[in-house]
Amino acid sequence: MDSGEDGNSNRRPIAARGNAGMQKIAAGLSRGGITPNQISVASIAFAGFGTWALLALPSPWGPWLCAAGIQARLLCNLFDGMVAVEGGKRTATGGLYNEVPDRIADSMLIVALGYAIALPWLGWVGALLAALTAYVRTLGGALGQAQDFRGPMAKQHRMATMTAACALAPFEAWSQHSSWLLTAASAIIAIGALLTCWTRLRTIATRLQETT
């Protein structure tokens, strides 16, 4: 979990937590009365903005604003945990607010990517498999294992892939009059999420066998 509501062993490792600037922003949010649950919900709004921009605005602004929305969504994912844990604002419902908005935001963006390349089925498959990676992770936790955040296509990898594709797509459209980067990103997210499910399931099975 990003927020660490169930303990640090189940907290997604994010290097940016150690950044002094990020720590100051998180401290400011905490002092300002912002709750981690509010930040988690805000991530849906930023994902929605990115979704709208990608589907409604022409290149280059659509893809570029989508990339900005993705990054804002990820910052929410960072700060909700920092405000909850470092800011001492954990709540009884924090685990729900940490997980559910993530699944919604992921699905909105990945499905939108499929529609943007006129392959909606690929977007839906990618979103389903992305949700399945989270299910497998939390299943491991329910079985008494430390939650496994490994890739190759965990949330941060999916969003990095989509951000890079959106940032570069306008240049491809201008020079090549094609959208192969967005198509490749959608396929990579789907295939990578499937591999991630496999690696996590295999790790859970190995750990369970070692404890018997």
CB contact at 8 A, 148 and 172? no
pTM for the whole structure: 0.91
Q: How far apart are CA 111 and CA 51, in angstroms?
A: 9
Q: What is the predicted pLDDT for the residue at 68?
A: 98
Render the burial of 1-17: b for 16+ CB within 10 Å, e for the rest.
Answer: bbbbbbeeebbbebeeb
Q: Is 70 exposed, middle or buried (0-12, 13-18, 19+ CB in 10 A)?
A: buried
pLDDT in tens, the chain (212 residues): 454 444 455 677 787 787 888 889 988 998 888 999 999 999 999 999 999 999 999 999 999 999 999 999 999 999 998 998 888 888 899 889 989 999 999 999 999 999 999 999 999 999 999 999 999 999 999 999 888 899 999 999 999 999 999 999 999 999 999 999 999 999 999 999 999 999 999 999 999 998 87
Domains of the chain: 8-210 (1.20.120.1760)
